[in-house]
Amino acid sequence: EAGVAQSPRYKIIEKRQSVAFWCNPISGHATLYWYQQILGQGPKLLIQFQNNGVVDDSQLPKDRFSAERLKGVDSTLKIQPAKLEDSAVYLCASSLGGTRGKETQYFGPGTRLLVL
Amino acid sequence: DQQVKQNSPSLSVQEGRISILNCDYTNSMFDYFLWYKKYPAEGPTFLISISSIKDKNEDGRFTVFLNKSAKHLSLHIVPSQPGDSAVYFCAASALTGANNLFFGTGTRLTVIP
């Protein structure tokens, strides 16, 4: 079974530029998550989708970050404009979308973003 | 506010010995706990989990212990192997929540051959 796919793996941009990340979850997984992991910290949830609807985006800086999950499968996360503090690894995860609170999330390899 | 804490940033253990990684949490609503392992340049990989109705869960060389009254859990690896060298993250979620995972800052385990 294929895992969670993410691209690109690495991205370097200058501040105020825009960037987009792509995620393809495990087949059949209804729930998709985007996490931000800053160096030396644990992953922090940015947004959670159930199919193509948003479940939680309370931690998403909506003035510059946006995410969508068209057709309930692939998802893109966009930052516009980027700031220096956005330098981090962006992780996508997916889960089956069954019993709440007992779901194992499976992570992709992440996209490492460096903002100069 | 860090709701899940891993106070030891690193741990070194001899091959064949026991590795014990600790995790504390503050939110009494957390009812499900997981450990993830992360190698460099890879995403976290699920290792083992435990529900709050249990105090122990075992899977091969890995055992997780949960002490709800102390809001503390630990991961035991016996025997430790060099391939276990990685960063280990503790994570927690609330059964009544949206399955959001709250992660600790991680402990880097080094198993010395």
Position A98 scores a pLDDT of 65
Please tell me if residue B108 touches chain A, with a CB cutoff of 8 Å: no
Averaged pLDDT of chain B? 93
**If DSSP codes are grouped into helix, strand and coil, which group holds residue B111?**
strand
A58 → chain B, closest CA residue: B100
Position A91 scores a pLDDT of 97
Contact A4 B43 (CB under 8 A): yes
Residues forming a β-bridge with A35: A45, A91
Q: Name residues whose C-beta falls within 8 Å of residue A71's C-beta, 6 or more positions apart in sequence.
A: A52
**If DSSP codes are grouped into helix, strand and coil, which group holds residue A71?**
helix
Position B100 scores a pLDDT of 80
A99 vs B39, residue with greater confidence? B39
Contact between B39 and B47 under an 8 Å Cβ cutoff? The reply is no
Position A100 scores a pLDDT of 56
- Pick the range with the lowest mean pLDDT from A43-57, B69-83, B92-106: B92-106
Predicted confidence (pLDDT) at residue B83 exceeds the cutoff of 60: yes
Chain A residues in contact with B7 by the CB 8 A cut-off are none
Q: Name residues whose C-beta falls within 8 Å of residue B108's C-beta, 6 or more positions apart in sequence.
A: B9, B10, B11, B86, B87, B88
Contact A56 B98 (CB under 8 A): yes
Please tell me if residue B103 touches chain A, with a CB cutoff of 8 Å: yes
Position A104 scores a pLDDT of 84
Q: Binning pLDDT at 50, 70 and 90, where does residue B47 land?
A: very high
Phi-psi region of A40 (alpha: psi -120 to 50; beta: other; left: phi over 0): left
Q: What phi and psi, each to the nearest 5 degrees, are found at residue A22? A: -120, 145
Please tell me if residue A25 touches chain B, with a CB cutoff of 8 Å: no
Q: Convert B68-107 to b/e letters by CB count within 10 Å (16 or more is b).
A: eeebebbbbbeebeeebbbbbbbbbbbeebbbbbbbbbbb
Across the range B33-43, mean pLDDT stands at: 92
Q: Residue A22: what residue type?
A: W
Residues of chain A with pLDDT under 50: none
